[in-house]
Structure 1
């Protein structure tokens, strides 16, 4: 039993999360809350535990110790099948590589998760077309990944994550392979789309400058929450461990 229930306005909540990879500690007792509709940036150098934290919050990895809650329901007690169902039905993901299906067009790639979730063909393709337009890659709808620039492929991956309207989108260094101008464009669109549709976005980045697109920033260092650096621009709020 938990000592205390998660706050009602926290869509995600972690307490005392510990996770190791092959005996090497990755997270050392992380406690964190993410409010509904918030754009949260998790910053820190490579190897600080950002990807592991997102994997634990998103039910991709089970925690070794501690608790993870989603909408006041425990995630840390779910079976593997339960975690898979949660990810499929409620979460969206964007990584540092788009991982698009090479044989499918951009529109087919975006429609795919909707079709797999049981949406009708017309509804899935209509939503895919709308999200490609919102992300300024509507003219790429009939093209396959090999025919597209990297920045366009990444925007299509963002559209694919957003089209099913998940409760939470996890973005793990989604702009890492892009140049600065493309990084800003993709993150601006991702954060704007999340806010306009009241989605929660958890963004991990090793570049603190990109945290300016978030509502709030937390920093990881050596698997622990640390005091983050000052925000680069006005608008991003920083917090210390424990909020």
Structure 2
């Protein structure tokens, strides 16, 4: 399997962590407060930026972390090595969610900034998995990212931070790549003042998904959905509880 994040892993936390601190983390905390019985599934854990949020809100729950990228797992295991208490609660599965062997009951599921990696068939399989495994009232929380349809997205800044004397930034642009897909090119740059020290790019296919399309897919899986605080919050229908 190709490691899509091999060129991005070095800068991943620097660019992504501000989003967790600013919006995603607090919204996720509220969305998973009412977890059910069973472990929490964290799909596309990355370097583990969301683990502290999940662990603090649900201190009694085991966490199953699914992360296929070897490069991102380096950061994930470094994070767990620094927190022995968290390491006792987190099991890391080095696979895609399609390949993961999961427990029969889940107390919650989380998938932040990862749905675009799944083609329609993989999404359908995921919804069926959640419908079968989620405990009554257990939430499954996801995010939708651009774009909602195959279209060109011009170069857009993703974030910037400074470490010591150097400035780190990321930006991305997307172009249509066929039915239901775009290709994102994300560029990571390191500057010393006005001098560009390094520039790396990451190209990856991203499956587009609109809210209406997602609602249709979840309806077919007999799941209900709410869109709130920038999150997609999924539950089993009330009658299933």
TM-score after normalising by structure 1: 0.33
Q: Which has the higher contact order (CA 8 A, sep 6+)?
A: 1
User: Relative to total residues, which structure has the larger strand share, 1 or 2?
Assistant: 2
TM-score after normalising by structure 2: 0.33
